[in-house]
Structure 1
Amino acid sequence: MAGNGGETTWCFSQVKGTLEDDVTEADLISCVEFNHDGELLATGDKGGRVVIFQRDPASKQCVPKKGEYNVYSTFQSHEPEFDYLKSLEIEEKINKIRWLKRKNQAHFLLSTNDKTIKLWKVSERDKRVTGYNTREEGGRPRDPTRITQLRVPTVRPAELMVEASPRRIFANAHTYHINSISLNSDQETYLSADDLRINLWHLEITDQSFNIVDIKPANMEELTEVITAAEFHPTECNLFVYSSSKGTIRLCDMRAAALCDRHAKLFEEPEDPHARSFFSEIISSISDVKLSNEGRYMMSRDYLGLKVWDLRMETKPVETYPVHEYLRSKLCSLYENDCIFDKFECCWSGDDQRLMTGSYNGFFRVFERGAGGGRRGELTLEAARDAAARPRQPLRARRVAATAKRKKDEISVDCLDFNKKILHTAWHPHESIIAVAATNNLFIFQDKF
């Protein structure tokens, strides 16, 4: 990247969201996801809403191309509920959104809160039917005695409307909070994971699912780990991976047994006994796992860094990227303010040569992999509104000083704002366009060239 031996120079493209300081909890973005061709970008928020943005056609025609998106559709996906049997409130917050590959004119996506998964159809309507026989133009039924002749209804052009309608509701299958949903490469089945179980669903069947992983002990006092993330392999429909709070990743093969309690491979990095501390177990918990687009590698995010694993080598990661190592000396205060439990996501670029994940103070990290899989360049960038004043200008790389002595362009670690956390990011599947969620704002950045 610019100034780091790499190739990409990032610049500001757009920011979506309000400027007000009195942002409500419901406005906070809780997930971001591009669809398979990158033409649509969906966000979910803590208020249960899904907002879909569509690529501006003009932005693709200009030279160089621009990554600009306009609001396409907004709908309420989930409502707050109350479980009377357990006296438990169920939040409307959207935990994950996953797009289905497009098969016709309509778009389909899955969205989930803690308990219920919904399949939504998003379609366009730009025509209307007039000349009904049995009802008025407004929709009211006509008096049959006043119908004296039959008319042939006609189809006329109308103003474009985008409609979102729920096609399936998959409920009552999870005792604990759903943290992951992942579509299979067969585009017919998907998995959903909570703290202790992973279920396999068919998109056409809502009243039953198959339990494929169950790590719940007979005695809950013996519980030592929970499932933190799960994902299907991008091309092999029988393979999936799931990560745990103990820092392990298990690769499972559904051909081996109906219940995949016995993993095919276990990916775990041996712990350095000299580096062990009170916080070791907490910071080794994996918050996200993502398989590369071509399926050979896998990326995992723990509290302090990213690791890239080769699926053919279980013993140790092939690449390690420290995200904010300067926070290691701050773990005590991060534990006291609960930041140490933040769950950062990560994502691959379309060509699998770059990685992205978030940090604090509005910072996010982009790492460039070398041709041989090694490290080539890394960059810390900031999702800040002042970038909007400099569109098409290269973003300034940010640096954090871990010690009291700092250079002119560095920020002291003591000055970081831990309320400005970048938890959710997404990468366009084919272009150098990235989406970064910062509280209630969605920032879109792109390659300057």
Structure 2
Amino acid sequence: MTSEIDSASLLSRAGQLVDLALKAGADSADAVVVRSRSKSVGVRLGKVETTESSESDDFSLRVFIGRQVASVSANPGFDLKALAERAVAMAKVSPEDPFAGLADAADLARSYPDLDLFDPTEVSSDALRDAALAAEEAALAVKGVSNSVGAGASAGMGGLVLVTSHGFSGSFQSSRFGCSVGVIAGEGTRMERDHDFDSRLFHADLDPAAEIGRRAGERAVRRLDPRQVETGQNVTVVFDPRVARGFIGHIAGAINGAAVARKTSFLRDRMGTEVLKSGLNITDDPLKVRGSGSRPFDGEGVKGEKLVMIEDGVLKHWFLSSSAARELGLHTNGRGSRGGTAVSPTSTNLALEPGSVAPEDLIRSVGTGFYVTELIGQGVNMVTGEYSRGATGFWIENGELAYPVSGVTIASNLKDMFMRLTAANDIDRKFAVAAPTIAIEGMTIAGR
């Protein structure tokens, strides 16, 4: 399932599509092929419930006539000439987009490194089944676990082929392997649920299935017999790294150039000012070897480079594609991501760089507070920064995790949260968004 894509034939087909678009009257054009292959096996209580396999080739063509643009998509087997003519006809009747166009030729990647993103290891359906069963078995073996939500294992790969009318032609591919399991601890009204997972580019790097299962079981059991806390307290909230990654995603959304251009980011007027506590840095690196979010060039053929998006607390960059950059009067930094026919800016390997304090010492310094292991709901307003989400985790007393807590809402404003954030030193960089344990002072708690 992870065998390599025949990039040469796809590049040839994409190149033909671009040439036909120019012959049909386009001033410029680009063609993208996104190819994916995957298979997965799901089990529950020792029995296989699902076995899935998929393979797709998605062709997209963008054509430009002046500032008029149109995009079309097709599956394999389409008529190249008919698709190109249809796209040009659509562009001729489209309204002008003053920011539309290919990336500047000077920005195109003329060469790019091998980032070691592809593992050719073939994993059979039987091996995926065995991994899922092993994860579930290990989770159910944890004392206190009473039932399984299910376990799964997967293997797959994806590839991007891009050809433009102004000289770019390139491709890359990456593999992906994963294993996950969810279980229930307790009985009746005492039931609590939790899960664990791992996902890697290389199969040999994947955590053992039994270890993933054991962690899931232990996490569920730890949540048994939760208490509620009093409403109205202002406390320090500590985010488990798994939760902190999602929180860092809010920062990424706030410094996305497309959101800034639409005026839907609460940081839209803060370039060059302090938006995080002094000493904190957020980096983004598309060229990280074996990075989960790595890519040798972006969805427009532009080679990115490692950027310190927020340096010593000061906002230095937006995530920019060519169109978002033009709208803001700036220059792309190679963060354009292809999603179907659209290009939009995204992060790559994003990290809140770690601090110097160990997570245990950070929790100890809190004294009394709330350690969050799961967030619930979508109560985040990216226009105003208002933040209010349900949470579960553990109450901190005397600098130690004392007892499980649920039915809690934590609230503040992201602008204030960013300025009150302290980072521990326990970062795990295996995911595309990486963050250590973080503590945020002065959040409001609502409980009973």
Shorter-chain TM band: under 0.3
Q: TM-score, normalised by structure 1?
A: 0.24
Q: TM-score, normalised by structure 2?
A: 0.24
Between Structure 1 and Structure 2, which shows a larger proportion of helix residues?
Answer: 2
